[in-house]
Every structure is written in C-alpha cells, then in structure tokens.
Amino acid sequence: FSLNLADCNAVLKALQPIFQEQGMTETVHNWEDHGYLVTYIKKNGSFANLRIHPHGLVLVDLQSYNDHMKGREEVDQLLNKVEERMKELFHGNIKRVKRLPAILRGGVIDRYWPTADGRLVEYDIDEVVYDEDSPFQNIKILHSKQFGNILILSGDVNLAESDLAYTQAIMGSGKEDYTGKEVLILGGGDGGILCEIVKLKPKMVTMVASNIDQMVIDGCKKHMRKTCGDVLDNLKGECYQVLIEDCIPVLKRYAKEGRMFDYVINDLTAVPISTSPEEDSTWEFLRLILDLSMKVLKQDGKYFTQGNCINLTDALTLYEEQLSRLYCPVEFSKETVCVPSYMELWVFYTIWKKQTDI
Amino acid sequence: FSLNLADCNAVLKALQPIFQEQGMTETVHNWEDHGYLVTYIKKNGSFANLRIHPHGLVLVDLQSYNDHMKGREEVDQLLNKVEERMKELFHGNIKRVKRLPAILRGGVIDRYWPTADGRLVEYDIDEVVYDEDSPFQNIKILHSKQFGNILILSGDVNLAESDLAYTQAIMGSGKEDYTGKEVLILGGGDGGILCEIVKLKPKMVTMVASNIDQMVIDGCKKHMRKTCGDVLDNLKGECYQVLIEDCIPVLKRYAKEGRMFDYVINDLTAVPISTSPEEDSTWEFLRLILDLSMKVLKQDGKYFTQGNCINLTDALTLYEEQLSRLYCPVEFSKETVCVPSYMELWVFYTIWKKQTDI
C-alpha cells in the first residue's frame, strides 16, 4: 500500500511515543519526497532507525552492544508495540509484517558464512576451535552444534564432520569397487576421502597434498577426527601414502614413468568460480591438472571431482567447456548432492576417457 | 583491539571524507563513553550509519531503496574505501573485516525464512507461486532456484520439491516393505508420502487430512507435482483414499471398529515446540493422537513421525517423555536426516509397541 505525506507523518506521530518511553532522544530527517528517517538514541549506546517510505514500507532497525537475552525480550516488546500501533493506525490493513532474527556482529564467534551463490546464512557456531593464517589462506575450524566441527578456508565452508555425503559423492556415490585398486587423491587435506577409501581395501592410495594443505592437515588431524579418523596421524600406512608436494610435478613425474591409476580424485580447494573467460589463468591451471590426470588415468579409469553450487550455472557451463578442450576426448556425468553443512546443493562430476571403437 | 576517545575521533575523521564525497550530509552523535553514531544522509533517500565503539568495533550499515546491481557496485566501492582507509589508519593491524550480503526487505519476494532453531537464512527464492490465507494458516508456495517449489505454512518451511529425503525418512528410510500392507497417513497434505507409498503396491493407504489441510492440498496438487505426482488429483485411487476429516474422530471410529494398520505415519503439521510443561494442551493433543494411533496399530506395526530440528533438544526430550506416558508401553528409535530445504538437520522417530514375552 502507499502512504501520502500526511500518512508518513501519522506513522511517525504514532510510533514516536514508543521510542520516547524508552528514554530515547529523537532526530528526524524529512526528505519530503522520500519520507522520513528517524534516529532514536539511548544513553547506553544503543539506537534505532525508523525509516518511513512514502510507498508504504516502514523499517525499524535496532542496534545495540551486548545483546543479552534480557535485551532481546526488551526488543521484542518494543517491536510488539510498534506492530500493535501500526495495526491500530491502519485498522489492521497491513499487507505484511516480518521480524528477522538479530544479526550478531563483532563477537568472538562469527556465525555468518555466506553460500557460494552469495546468500546470507547463519550457522549454529558456538566455538572457535582453530584459527590460523598460513601464507596461503586463513584456516578456521569452528564448532557447530549440529554439524560438528566445520573447516572454513578463507571464509568458504569446506567440509564439516557431518558431511560424509560430500566424501561419498566425490568417491562415486557408492557405485565403485575400490578393492585392489590404485587411487590418486589430489588435495583432500581434510583426510575424509583417504579415510573412507582405505576402509575399502585398495591396493594403494596416494594422496598428494601441497604446502598449501599442510596447515589444513595439521588442523584436521586434531579437530576433524570424525572425518579423517587416524589416517592423517602418519603420512604412510599399509595401503596409503601422503606426499606433501605440489601435484603438478608429481603428476608430470607419474606420466613420464607411465604410472597409471584406476581412480583420480581431484579434491583441490582452488576451484575457479570466475565466469569471465578473460581471467583465463585459473581455467588454464584447471585444464593442466585435468590433462595430466587423464595421462595417468587408465583407459577404463574414472576421474571424480566436485564442481560448484548448483546455482552458479555459468561457472558450471564454463567448467564443462574445459572438458571438451583436453588432449584426449572425455565424457562426463554429473550428480547433484545435498551436503549438510553447505546450505546449498552441490554438483559433482565423474569424467572418463571416451572409449574408441576397435 | 580497543580504541580510546582520540582513536574514535581519528576513525571518524578518516572515514568522513568517504561519505562526504558521496554527497551525504552528516549528523554526529557522541556518547563520550560509548563512542560515536554518525548518520550520513543522501538526497535520494538512502543513508548510512557509522557506529564507532570505543572497544574497537566499527560497524557500517548502508540502507537504500531499490537496490539495483549498480547500487551494489557503488556500495562495494564505498566499503572498499572504508576498509582501505581503516587499514591505513591502523597500519594493517585490524583483527577482522567482514562484509555481509545485503538484506532485501519489503519487496514482493521474501527470501528470509528462519530455521526452527531461530537462525537467519536466506533462500534463493525468485517467485511467489501461491500465497493464500486459510482460516487456519497462511499457505505460501515459493519457487527456489535450487529446491524447486517450497511449501511454507505460517512462515515455517514445510517441504520442497527437492525433499524426497523427508518423505523417505518418515516412511522408514527404505527399510520397510509396504507391499500388501494397510497404511494410515495422518495429515500429509502435500501428498508426498501418499505418492511414494502407492508406488510400493500397498493393499490400501488411507490418508486423513482435515479441513486445515484442504487448501494445502489445493495448492500442492497444482504447484508441488514433483512431490505429489497426480495422487491428489482424485481423492480415491486403486489402492488409496483421502478422507477430508479431522483425524481424531476417524481414529476413534477405527479403534471402535477394530480396524488395524501395519503402518501409521503421522505427518500432521502441528508439532508442539513449546518447552514449558504448563502449556500442556498441545502435548495432550499429541498424546491423544499417539494413544489412538497405537490402538489402531497392529502388534508388530510401526508408527513413523517427524520430531523436530536436532538443536531443539528440550523439545525432543519432552516429546520422548510423552512416549512413556501412553496407554501401552512403546519403544522408539530416532534418526537424524538432512532435508535439503531445511538448512538444519531434522530428527525422525520410529515408534512400536513393546513386545511382551509370551
């Protein structure tokens, strides 16, 4: 609905007493053609903005330091009064009333980790478990009541202890038989994939994690044990080894040696999300890894990787275009998976060499 | 880190020009012991709050009407300048910088549907498909890019077309054989359970949906077809019937007639989340349904229901206490499931009559 100037003023007059009762002092700005902004200031450092738009939108924002439960009750009471007064004024003829949960900023615990598609989501974080800067990135492990510990790399939610679904998806969703197989993992510093595959009696799993991953490994082996078990405690086990090296030279060496794998699983954290083809270097890096991986992949082998969130369709399309530009023809399938801590659906790829007719 | 009064003033002086360059007029409030609130007002109706706390927290809030992409770029540039200036002022010695996605309020599309445990989450809603008030509740069906259509009852996310995981969980997670079985569904107005069970060749499925569900059924049969298929198009099929009646009298009638079921699935929307035992009426209603359901459940039958989000532990505990207060002894198990559109883990219950030794 829309208000005229007199209505705007009536809203202001109706709501004023509610804020004044709180001992707040008022500053009114009148745009005439854009309505009012009224700022109410309290002695204790908290304040409120009342924004009255002439087309009928009325916004109330309250900001205070130290939001105790008592403070929240007071806020609720104040907003109840605002709602009541507005309903009286417009005889119940109000199209929509919406109250959003308080946003908590500046505390030790940061609960807001936006999704890959840029949406605001609040996590039930109650503890900072690990927070370190490596020369490459910031590494946080935060505790969520429902997801367990969550690994967050440079602000991106990477994996939580609840996210077996991620590990299963990037291993082929339970449709593969790893028994006696040669497996190469690129990245995977959280240890989730390694931990799950060694349970399946492979011949040998080689995980290549670079310096970038070293501090991730250090943090995860201590704080993400539901994900990695004890597999990161040693860099070598009965059927696995972890190499701390850049994957490019390792892949080149293997290709030269003719060493071949049944499965290559790319779990490197650096996923290009750029959708401008000019920023080509990330895509080139990605194609280099793909090309080298195909060189060490057996003819009937499979390459698994995560793609992106389902809503970043342009980035997914660009990724798929790269697949047609490899040295050998490949085919691929994709699957959309719900990873609990992601708060968005995620796309995983399976890539294999196109079988030529004999 | 913490600022003293001189620092607060230095922050203000450093940031002032950034806002003034935008043609914004300034109003400064100085609390002395609580720092500054500076309000910057632009001619076009937008404004900014700059809140400088003496313990070192600096908050910048920008509010504008009609947030076009162009507006967002401007906002980003302004915030870049703020960040830069702050880093200069404190020689890079800033503990944390965080920018949250814009909150969109007052538009046709509302993207914020808080979780059951009260967290703020933004959905990728791009269309209002259905929005009606019944005498009992508000019924919305909103389109999400990733989840498909989402049914929202009185502000609570109920089910999305992506949420087969919900339906599977409340049917026993694929571990039950419904072939030739007698099934009773209480509620389930979205048609998801009915649709999945009729595929499994049951003897007869009876779904009891009350008046409360009538408009839910109307909306879902039109807009949630990925969930309900064509099962709601007719109230009667080869192996199912839908009764539009309150479930209490129906259950009483069945109990009197001695009609028994292999499975009772309670998918009524009214779940008590009250944790104060004084508000007993909802719990009493819930116990009444449970008692009547047990009366029509075969000795080896199973009762399935959804519980609550995993974080509302008090509500879950209270629910479990009710189970020990039924007319007959029961046992239960529970399972935590990730329902894609919920953005929180959800607990489902299986309840059965305690088998007495013969």
Which residues neighbour B175 within 8 Å (Cβ) at sequence distance 6 or greater? none
Q: Rounded to 5 degrees, what angle do the CA atoms B3, B8, B11 make?
A: 110
ipTM of the complex, rounded to two decimals: 0.93
In this prediction, residue A277 carries a pLDDT of 52
Nearest CB partner across the interface for A311, out of B110, B145, B345: B145
Q: Do B105 and A98 touch (CB under 8 A)?
A: yes
- Model confidence at A109, pLDDT cuts 50, 70, 90, reads very high
- The CATH T-level fold of domain B162-353 is Rossmann fold (3.40.50)
Q: Which of A80-89, A96-105, B207-216 has the lowest mean pLDDT?
A: B207-216
Q: Which residues pair with A132 in a beta bridge?
A: A139
Contact B34 A53 (CB under 8 A): no
Q: Would you state the pLDDT for residue A92?
A: 84
The residues near A106 (Cβ < 8 Å, ≥ 6 apart) are B53, B57, B59
Mean pLDDT of A313-331: 96
Residue/partner pairs of B317-324 with CB below 8 Å, 24 or more apart? B318/B272, B318/B275, B318/B277, B318/B283, B319/B272, B319/B286, B319/B349, B322/B283, B322/B286, B322/B287, B322/B290, B323/B290, B323/B351
Closest CA to A62 of A95, A22, A92, A29: A22
With tokens 């099934």, the residue in question is B183
The closest alpha carbon to B268, from B207, B195, B325, belongs to B207
Cβ-based contacts of A311 with chain B (< 8 Å): 124, 145-146
In chain A, whose CA is at the least distance from the CA of B346? Answer: A146
* CB-CB contact of B306 with B351 (8 Å): no
pLDDT at B274: 45
The angle, 0 to 180 degrees and rounded to 10, between the axes of the packed helices A280-295 and A247-257 is 30
Chain A residues closer than 8 Å to B35 by CB: 45
Query: Is B5-90 a CATH 3.30.160.110 domain?
Result: yes
Interface test with B, best of A146, A226, A313 (most B CBs within 10 A): A146
- Chain B nearest CA to A358, separation (Å): 42
Chain A nearest CA to B123, separation (Å): 7
C-alpha closest to that of A219 among A137, A112, A115: A137
Pairing outcome for strands B261-267 and B297-309: parallel
Minimal Cα–Cα distance from A164 to chain B, Å?
Answer: 11
- For position A30, what pLDDT does the model report? 95
Tokens of B186: 């209480």
Closest CB to B29: pick one of A34, A41, A124: A41
Chain B residues whose CB is inside 8 A of the A106 CB are: 53, 57, 59
User: What are the chain B neighbours of A103 within 8 Å (beta carbons)?
Assistant: 100, 120
Q: Give the closest residue to A261 by CA, choosing from A298, A292, A208, A288.
A: A298
Sign for the pseudo-dihedral over CA of B63, B65, B71, B74: negative
Q: Determine which one of A163, A213, A262, A267 is catalytic.
A: A267
Contact: B120, A98; criterion CB under 8 Å: no
**Dist. CA B53–CA B194, nearest whole Å:** 57
**Alpha-helix runs per DSSP H in B229-312:** 247-257, 280-295
Cα–Cα distance for residue pair B125/B122, rounded to 1 Å: 8
Of the candidates B45, B63, B124, which has its C-beta nearest A31's C-beta? B45
The arithmetic mean of pLDDT across residues A205-226, rounded, is: 94
Residues of chain B contacting A344 with CB distance shorter than 8 Å: 124, 146
User: In three state form, how does the secondary structure of chain A look?
Assistant: CCCCHHHHHHHHHHHHHHHHHCCCEEEEEECCCCCEEEEEECCCCCEEEEEECCCCCEEEEEECCCCCHHHHHHHHHHHHHHHHHHHHHCCCCCCCCCCCCCCCCCCCCCCECCCCCCCCEECCEEEEEEEEECCCCEEEEEEECCCEEEEEECCEEEEECCCHHHHHHHCCCCCCCCCCCEEEEEECCCCHHHHHHHCCCCCEEEEEECHHHHHHHHHHHHHCHHHHCCCCCCCECCCEEEEECCHHHHHHHHHHHCCCEEEEEEECCCCCCCCCCCCHHHHHHHHHHHHHHHHCEEEEEEEEEEEEECCCHHHHHHHHHHHCCCCCCEEEEEEEEECHHHCCEEEEEEEEECCCCC
Tens-level pLDDT at each residue, chain B (358 residues): 667 777 899 999 999 999 999 999 999 999 988 999 999 999 999 999 999 999 899 999 999 987 555 678 889 999 999 999 999 999 988 989 999 999 999 989 999 999 999 999 999 999 999 999 998 899 999 999 999 999 999 999 999 999 999 999 999 999 999 999 999 999 999 999 999 999 999 999 999 998 888 999 999 999 999 999 999 999 999 999 999 999 999 999 999 999 999 999 999 975 544 455 555 678 888 999 999 999 999 999 999 999 999 999 999 999 999 999 999 999 999 999 999 999 999 999 999 999 876 6
**A183 Cβ neighbours under 8 A, 6+ residues apart:** A197, A202, A204, A205, A206, A261, A262, A263, A264, A265
Write out the catalytic residue numbers of B: 267
Q: What is the pLDDT of residue B195?
A: 98
Inter-chain touch A53–B61, beta carbons under 8 Å: no
C-beta atoms of B65 and A53 within 8 A: yes
Span A155-168, average pLDDT: 97
Cβ contact (<8 Å) for A103 and B100?
Answer: yes
Q: Among A60, A120, A150, which would you mutate to test the B interface (most chain B Cβ atoms within 10 Å of its Cβ)?
A: A120
The gap from C-alpha A318 to its chain's centroid, in whole angstroms, comes to 20
Residue-level pLDDT at B71: 74
CB B305 within 8 A of CB B265: yes
Chain A interface, best mutation among B110, B119, B133, B314, by max A CB count within 10 A: B119
Say if the Cβ atoms of A110 and B119 lie within 8 Å.
no
Instruction: Say if residues A54 and A3 touch (Cβ distance below 8 Å).
Output: yes
* Contact between A105 and B57 using a beta-carbon 8 Å cutoff: yes
Contact B117, B313 (CB under 8 A): no
Judge: B101–A111 Cβ closer than 8 Å, yes or no: no
Collect all residues with Cβ–Cβ distance below 8 Å to B174 and sequence separation of at least 6.
B168
Checking if the pLDDT of A272 tops 50, the result is: no
H/E stretch holding B221 reads helix B211-223
Tell which of B1, B2, B31 to mutate to test the A interface (max A CBs under 10 Å): B31
Cβ of B121 and A118 within 8 Å?
Answer: no
Model confidence at A337: pLDDT above 80: yes
Helix (H) or strand (E) holding B82: helix B69-89
Compare all CA atoms of chain B with the CA of A43 and give the residue at the minimum distance. Answer: B31
CB proximity list for A138: less than 8 A, separation 6 or greater: A131, A132, A153, A154, A155
Please check the confidence at residue A276 and state whether its pLDDT lies above 80: no
Amino acid letter, residue B349: Y
Which pLDDT score is estimated for B273?
45
Residue at token pair 């505990």: B317
Chain B positions in Cβ-Cβ contact with residue A65 (cut-off 8 Å): 34, 53, 57
CA B281 to chain centre: 23
Identify the pLDDT of residue B77: 93
Choose the closest CB to B101 out of A120, A146, A340.
A120
